[in-house]
Amino acid sequence: MTATAGAKQRLQAGRAAARAGRHEEALREFAWFHDHALDDTPSLYGVRLSFALHDWVRLGEAYPPARQALDAVRARKAQALLDGAADFSLFHDVASIDEMLGMPQATGTLYAALAERAPAFARAVAGVALPLLVQAGDYVLADRMRPEPAQALREHANLLARHLRWARRQPYAPMPLRWSFIEGHAALVRMHVAITAAVGGPAAAGRLAAQAIAAIPDPLLRATVREQIARPSGARVYRKRRRGWSPPRRVEC
């Protein structure tokens, strides 16, 4: 692949090389994409930390040097953070690698060190760290570093309403996009409720869940969010829409 090829082409070239068993070439393309994709196309931020990292991890399962290279990237970025680099994107990279590798405890260890060395920066990246702290079972640190949960959930309920109003104005906004907004809010509620249950008990968690649901003014949307909060992450209930959120015809997807 030439140096002038775009980021999407480089990612596709890496995938093609991996499928063909050209592992060294695939590693070269995936590493280039991780380091340079945003120089070429900033809109690939999400792809870079999800699909592209997944491709790199899968390559590492078949080709150990790829895993070693990814571990080295993670170690270099974590050390930069410990050395004082207050860079949100660096922390997001490390946390995304840890999540893709199934290592939330590694993020927890790094975050605990940052919370001691650079508490202001640790609070600034708490939105990235908290889900992994919960996965790792470090509820005490998560509780210490999270924003006030009831206020955070009220603010996010307002953000959810704005996102859904925007989606309704789009001529071709797909249902999965709208559901991604709802599931994102439900996941945030579940996370804060889990932290509160661990450190404050079930009664406090129940009160927080009730406050989060009450913060949504639209009754039909409120009912939808209530159902989604009670479901495992990723389970969805679609509702037909007539001038807003329409009633309860459930379809699992």
User: Which of the four pLDDT bands, split at 50, 70 and 90, describes residue 250?
Assistant: very low
Question: Looking at the DSSP assignment, which residues form a beta bridge with residue 252?
Answer: 237
Contact between 75 and 110 (Cβ < 8 Å): no
Say yes or no to pLDDT of 7 above 90: yes
Residue in 192, 98, 92 with CA at minimum distance from that of residue 139: 192
For the chain, give the percent of residues with pLDDT over 70. 88
pLDDT over 80 (residue 58): yes
Each residue's pLDDT tens digit, 204-245? 999 999 999 999 999 999 999 999 998 766 444 444 333 343
- Residue owning tokens 């280039």: 32
Tell me the helices (H) and strands (E) count for the chain, helix number first.
14, 2
- For the CA atoms of the chain, what is the radius of gyration? 21
Tokens 């859904």 belong to residue: 164
Distance CA 179, CA 176 (A): 5
Q: What is the pLDDT of residue 167?
A: 85
Residue 1 has pLDDT above 70, yes or no: no
Q: Is 250 exposed, middle or buried (0-12, 13-18, 19+ CB in 10 A)?
A: exposed
Model pLDDT for residues 139-195, shown as the tens digit of each residue: 999 999 999 999 999 999 999 999 998 888 887 766 778 889 999 999 999 999 999
